[in-house]
Chain A
Amino acid sequence: MTNPSIRIRGLTKHFGQVRAVDGVDLDIADGEFFAMLGPSGSGKTTVLRMIAGFEQPTSGSIELAGTDVTGRPAYDRDVNTVFQDYALFPHMSVQDNVEYGLRVKKVAKAERHERAKDALASVHLEQYSERRPSQLSGGQRQRVALARALVNRPKVLLLDEPLGALDLKLRRAMQIELKELQREVGITFVFVTHDQEEALTLADRIAIFNDGKIEQVATPAELYEQPINPFVAGFVGTSNLLENESAKTLLGREGSFSIRPEKIHLDPADTTGLQTASGVIREVIYLGATNHYVVDLTTNATLTVARQNLHGASDQNLRHRADTVTLGWLPEHVIELTTKEN
């Protein structure tokens, strides 16, 4: 990356004895929709807050568009943030909320007004400008928060769990809106989430955080298809993890491996080129679009197999518990993982 929008080197943050962020290096390209994904407490939000300037790093550096901003206060950085709780000013109207950043920067009243109007229009809220935040729904507040941040035309927009407080349906709709908005404005979006599906849907690239460190940075497809270690494999999607003895007996190889459930065939008609194993179905899990079969292999391992529910949910279309089955998979779908010990 020749000219990254954000360049982070050796970023570390200690809260007392706790190492919240532990030596993070990261480059985010201009115009990229970048997600930071990880379980709670993994340090992703702290990294975002350090980029925004709300927290000062214990050590390490942050560059924005080639300028070192480490140590600069939040008000002196060309980034804007959409907060998890939206953080709309309760004593101001929607219009005043959106104008706040421009007013602080002493933008003339007419221009300020015009830009705020445009920003509200871009999130379809022009008719709500005189309302107080408390008179809006959750989704509307979310959009005001977006407009308030974008009206300043920052180089980078930071989003802290932006959709976390919305219900599932609204979240899906907002995801699409966010994606469209990012394409429209063309600036760098960095967003923090613990929802892997959201990250896979929205992001160009994803950083997987664990325990204050980044495990892997990759595109959604790479992450899914080529997780580099058991944590990533387990955190992104579901996977069958084969380690030690079970890997040796099943695959005849040393190390840790992952096979995605949908990559495994159930009773394949033609086993040419497949690695196979047989076992007994222990559990059948009905998930609507798919069914998951938990199969105990004769070699003492357990594999989960996902099958699309092509024929509806009637009993005859489902294989039954205690049925004996043969499983088969292509060797290239066995992903070799690096473990910490290696």
Chain B
Amino acid sequence: MAASSPGYRKRLASLLAPPMLWLGVAYLGALAALFLTSFWTVNAFGTGEIEQVWNLDNYRALFTISVYRTITLRTLAIAIGVTVIDALLALPIALYMAKVASPRARKWLVIGVLMPLWASYLVKAYAWRGLLSDAGPVAWLLRPLGLDTPGYGLTATVITLAYLWLPYMILPMYAGLERLPDSLLDASADLGARPWLTLRRVVVPVLWPAAVAGSIFTFSLTLGDYIAVKIVGGANQMLGNVVYDNSGVAGNLPFAAAVAAIPVVIMVVYLALVRRTGALENL
């Protein structure tokens, strides 16, 4: 058979070698390098030169200095908040797009959802900075109602990140709903379920793997973010800022690597939990 001939295998190998090399060296290798670096230290003068002395000081600092725990928990809370908000926003939007809108409107809605992805991250974050500013439209709209703009801070950070990552939640949900036959919704109603019950018993469970896929995006993107919080987060910082400050500002790459290991560990735990629900098999 052609499929098992030596020529075919050679061609297959040459075809797959570059991407596998990329995966092995650039991707996993970088991760390994990062992890190794976190066990080294830098010289005293802050020039960022790494001294390859094996030690656990970076991790000791992470666990003993309470501020890092505070920042980790804050980052985690923001990531959970963003994910939950995105899931709650994306469900009705995706439901409308996939099941209610006419095919023509659907096309435009997909473009509408994708459009913000074409704009630069910074433009969008600065747009929210303008919106939420003391003299911005949000304050102008809410003040007559006795409310006020949340100002720059954690709320603004969650809003901005939820906005930034929303398409990453809508698109998998929309794809999941597209695959969900209308007849399932009819069948549920036919068997006596009101729309809410249909949503809870049929739509959400069928959509669960898609929502999990979306949450992996929103959750991990938020965990690693450090720019939005700089722009709209006021005086707050997230794990990404600690990584940035230590690698960029202080030139302490080993400590930055140790901090960067936190979101990696959180994601591994998250994926393990997701795996247990069985959602990954249905992706």
* Direct A–B contact in the complex, CB atoms closer than 8 angstroms: yes
A52 touches B186 (CB 8 A): yes
Question: Least Cβ distance of B21 to chain A in Å?
Answer: 38
Given the known inter-chain contacts A73-B189, A74-B189, please indicate yes or no for A87 contacting B183, CB distance below 8 A: yes
Q: Is B220 an interface residue (CB 8 A)?
A: no
Query: Which A residues from 280 to 320 make CB contacts under 8 A with B?
Result: none
B192 touches A101 (CB 8 A): yes
B206 touches A90 (CB 8 A): yes
Partner of B187 from A49, A81, A105 at Cβ < 8 Å: A81
With the chains together, A52 CA to B186 CA distance in Å?
9
- What A residues does B193 contact at CB under 8 A? 75, 100, 104
A81 touches B206 (CB 8 A): no
Q: Is B194 an interface residue (CB 8 A)?
A: yes
- What A residues does B73 contact at CB under 8 A? none
Q: Is A85 an interface residue (CB 8 A)?
A: yes
Question: Least Cβ distance of A188 to chain B in Å?
Answer: 16
Q: Could you mark each residue 12-44 of chain A with 1 if its beta carbon is under 8 Å from any beta carbon of chain B, else 0?
A: 000000000000000000000000000000000
- What B residues does A261 contact at CB under 8 A? none
- What A residues does B197 contact at CB under 8 A? 104
Given the known inter-chain contacts A89-B202, A91-B206, please indicate yes or no for A75 contacting B194, CB distance below 8 A: yes
* Total contacting residues, chain A, CB less than 8 A: 25
Q: Could you mark each residue 182-205 of chain B with 1 if its beta carbon is under 8 Å from any beta carbon of chain A, else 0?
A: 011011111111100100011001
Query: Which B residues from 150 to 181 make CB contacts under 8 A with A?
Result: 181
With the chains together, A84 CA to B189 CA distance in Å?
16
With the chains together, A8 CA to B175 CA distance in Å?
39
CB-nearest residue of chain A to B186: A54
Question: Least Cβ distance of A72 to chain B in Å?
Answer: 11
- What A residues does B205 contact at CB under 8 A? 91
A75 touches B189 (CB 8 A): yes
With the chains together, A61 CA to B206 CA distance in Å?
35
With the chains together, A49 CA to B190 CA distance in Å?
10
Question: Least Cβ distance of A190 to chain B in Å?
Answer: 13
- What B residues does A80 contact at CB under 8 A? 190-191
With the chains together, A52 CA to B202 CA distance in Å?
19
With the chains together, A101 CA to B201 CA distance in Å?
12
With the chains together, A130 CA to B192 CA distance in Å?
23
Q: Is A148 an interface residue (CB 8 A)?
A: yes
CB-nearest residue of chain A to B193: A104
With the chains together, A299 CA to B100 CA distance in Å?
59
Query: Which B residues from 11 to 49 make CB contacts under 8 A with A?
Result: none
Q: Is A128 an interface residue (CB 8 A)?
A: no
Q: Is A53 an interface residue (CB 8 A)?
A: yes
- What A residues does B186 contact at CB under 8 A? 49, 52, 54, 74, 81, 83, 87
With the chains together, A58 CA to B259 CA distance in Å?
64
Q: Is A142 an interface residue (CB 8 A)?
A: no
With the chains together, A75 CA to B186 CA distance in Å?
9
Given the known inter-chain contacts A81-B186, A91-B205, A91-B206, please indicate yes or no for A104 contacting B181, CB distance below 8 A: no
Partner of A105 from B190, B192, B208 at Cβ < 8 Å: B192
B183 touches A83 (CB 8 A): yes
Query: Which A residues from 119 to 154 make CB contacts under 8 A with B?
Result: 148-149, 152
- What B residues does A87 contact at CB under 8 A? 181, 183-184, 186-187
B192 touches A75 (CB 8 A): yes
- What A residues does B206 contact at CB under 8 A? 89-91
With the chains together, A105 CA to B190 CA distance in Å?
12
Partner of A53 from B183, B189, B201 at Cβ < 8 Å: B189
Given the known inter-chain contacts A89-B184, A90-B206, A91-B206, please indicate yes or no for A148 contacting B189, CB distance below 8 A: no
With the chains together, A152 CA to B202 CA distance in Å?
19
B189 touches A54 (CB 8 A): yes
Please give me the 6 A-B residue pairs with the lowest Cβ-Cβ distance, nearest first. A101-B191, A87-B183, A74-B189, A87-B187, A104-B192, A91-B205
Residues of A within 8 A of B (CB): 49, 52-54, 73-75, 79-81, 83-85, 87-91, 100-101, 104-105, 148-149, 152
Write 15 A-B pairs (CB below 8 A) sorted by A numbering: A54-B186, A54-B189, A79-B190, A83-B187, A84-B183, A85-B181, A87-B186, A89-B184, A89-B188, A91-B205, A91-B208, A100-B193, A100-B201, A101-B192, A104-B201
Q: A87-B184, A101-B192 are in contact. List 14 more A-B contacts (CB 8 A).
A: A52-B190, A73-B189, A74-B189, A74-B190, A75-B191, A75-B192, A84-B183, A85-B181, A87-B187, A88-B187, A89-B187, A100-B201, A101-B191, A105-B192
